[in-house]
Homo-oligomer: A and B are copies of this chain.
Amino acid sequence: MAVAEICIFPLGTQTPSVGKYLEPVFEVIKESGLKYMTCPMGTVVEGDIDEILALIKKCHEAIFKTGAQRVVISVRIDDRVDKELTIESKLGV
């Protein structure tokens, strides 16, 4: 199980506020069924590498459907095989 943070920004929008472009992306993440945590600089999800990569593809589709012309997607994946990795374990909970 990996933990990944996904951060997406559209470029070239009319205003610096990009919330409306990100709403469909949040919907895709919620509908994915993966455990997630909304953070100020991105959304963190739990899943295996295939689930995470499939989600990135859906996020990519969702934001371009909003009409965004250019998008920067930053993903950081933490994965380990020696023990279970979860959002809680990463939070030290």
Contacts and interface: CB of A to CB of B under 8 A. Distances in A.
Interface string A1-42: 001110101111111111100000000000000000111111
Interface residues of A, number: 48
Contact of A56 (B38, B53, B72, B81): B53
A48 B72 CA distance: 14
- How often does this chain occur in the complex, in copies? 4
A69 B57 CA distance: 26
B72 A78 contact: yes
13 contacts: A5-B39, A9-B9, A10-B11, A11-B80, A13-B14, A39-B91, A41-B42, A41-B78, A70-B80, A72-B77, A73-B79, A74-B74, A75-B75
